[in-house]
Amino acid sequence: MAKAGKRKLIAGLDIGSSAVRMAVGQIMVRDEEGGEPELQILGAAEAPSEGVNKGAISSIEDVVSAISACYEKTERIVGVPIDSVWLGVSGLHIIAQSSKGVVAVSKADNEIGEEDVTRSLEAARAISTPLNYEVLHVLPKVFGVDGQTGIKDPVGMTGVRLEVDAQIILGASAQIKNLTKAVYRSGLEIEDLVLSILATAEAALTPRQKDLGVLVVDLGGCTTSLAVFEEGDIVHTAILPIGSEHITNDIAIGLRTSIDIAERVKIQYGDCWSEPVSKRDEIDLSELGASEHELVKRKYLSEIIEARAEEILFKIDQELRKVQRNGLLPAGVVFTGAGAKLPGLVDLAKKNLRLPATLGYPLNIASVTDKINDLGFVGAVGLVKWGAMMGGRTHTVQDRWQFIGIVKSWINKLLP
């Protein structure tokens, strides 16, 4: 991590299929003892993504140049060299599994210590990992001590046998290796790997929402990632192979125009909720770069978008059904990702998911850049927040164990 005087810079790198984004922040350490440290975002930048498809790398060289372009821009903004990043991992290769770890409490007086918790997580991690997969996270859900279940933090309790129910997040080794290789080749060190949607959740959700029950959705270009939380813990995660680029493709086909014009039409005139759109409104495609004058009905455009957005929402609802939370999350659904900028999405989601819905901007983070208000940057900002949390100052009890010896150990293995 770069250090400048009392400043400790933390950088997050989010490599998406549409854009590579980087955010840099610092923890403001107060002089007086016990003062709450504060996270501030100092700068953020993006560059068009090349060589990434659905979170998988299709050309390392292209990704290296996209990362380099992005981080040069960020360095220029921040004015301090960035040498390491918290790296977001996403893509269809990610899988989640439930696991259980059981250990005997080590101390003679049977008081459970942090090392017992760490050992229980290591035991949960030792499930038979599918061939060619790596463990990204071991997320403790709930602990049990001598048969008493439902314990959130067992440290300090007395018992003989400690159990943990955990969720294990795995990623395909080859994909992760390609991703880390691209980052190292662009001259950056990696602090650690983080499942992108977890970092997003860290930035966009409050602890209260996570307690009540909430769904966070990152609507990207080629993928839609989601995570469900309840009682503060992660209940379900999924990455779906559908995103806002599918909407662009539908527009190109429906309006018989090029992808570039379809993308412009979507961004300037798109709306997911066709009902209130007037039948008389028309768009002249030549204003958006088409070679000929061609008028299209705005209503027709929003009907095309709505159909695909409904399909995306249906797939999200199916994921909620898998964990019996469809229509049942009191804190509703929070949308992030540049794809969520489409007007009308929140209203359509309220109707189709039968849940409260909002857009998720980073919370409780100071910023000197307005990128903090850009839904596309929530992932990158979340990675900075994650880095700050893992720096040991602002974490909650459970967060402490999410990384211990889990990822670092094999990152080194991947080094060229």
Ligand X SMILES: Nc1ncnc2c1ncn2[C@@H]1O[C@H](COP(=O)(O)OP(=O)(O)OP(=O)(O)O)[C@@H](O)[C@H]1O
Q: Footprint of ligand X on this chain (CB under 6 A)?
A: 16-19, 49, 55, 90, 220-223, 243-245, 248, 263, 266-267, 270, 337-339, 341-342, 376
Q: Which is nearer to ligand X, 162 or 216 (CB)?
A: 216
DSSP 130: P
Q: Which of ligand X, Mg ion, none has residue 245 at its interface (CB below 5 to 8 Å by kind)?
A: ligand X
Nearer to Mg ion, 138 or 333 (CB): 333
Beta carbons within 8 Å of 389's beta carbon, 6+ residues apart: 202, 395, 399
Sort 395 into a burial class: Cβ within 10 Å, 0-12 / 13-18 / 19+: middle
Query: How far, in Å, CA of 151 to CA of 214, rounded?
Result: 21
Q: Is 281 in a helix, a strand, or coil?
A: coil
Q: Least Å distance between CB 89 and ligand X?
A: 11
144 binds, among ligand X, Mg ion, none (CB under 5 to 8 A by kind): none
Q: Which does 376 bind (CB under 5 to 8 A by kind): Mg ion, ligand X, none?
A: ligand X
Residue 129: C-alpha distances to residues 142, 143, 171, 178, 180 (Å) = 21, 22, 10, 20, 20
Shortest spacing between CB 337 and Mg ion, in angstroms: 6
The option from Mg ion, ligand X, none interacting with 243 (CB < 5 to 8 A, set by class) reads ligand X
Q: How many CB atoms lie within 10 A of CB 416?
A: 7
Amino acid, single-letter form, for residue 172 = A
Cβ 296 to ligand X shortest distance, Å: 17
Residue 179 or 288 with smaller CB distance to Mg ion: 179
Q: What is the DSSP letter of 372?
A: G
- The answer to whether the CB of 378 falls within 8 A of the CB of 58 is no
Contact residues: Mg ion, CB under 5 A: 16, 220
In the complex, the smallest distance separating the C-beta of residue 220 from Mg ion, rounded to whole angstroms, is 4
Instruction: Supply the minimum distance, in Å, between the C-beta of residue 20 and Mg ion.
Output: 10
Residue 186 interface partner, choices ligand X, Mg ion, none, CB cut-off 5-8 Å depending on type:
none
- Whole-angstrom distance, CA of residue 124 vs CA of residue 29: 35
User: Smallest gap, in angstroms, from Cβ of residue 372 to ligand X?
Assistant: 15
DSSP reduced 3-state for 196:
helix
Q: How far apart, in whole angstroms, are the C-alpha atoms of residue 403 and residue 6? A: 25
Residue placing its CB nearer to ligand X in the complex, 343 or 392: 343
Residue for token digits 């301090």? 80
Pick between residue 16 and residue 213 the one whose CB is nearest to Mg ion: 16
Q: Which is nearer to Mg ion, 25 or 339 (CB)?
A: 339
Residue 175's binding partner among ligand X, Mg ion, none (Cβ under 5 to 8 angstroms by kind) is: none
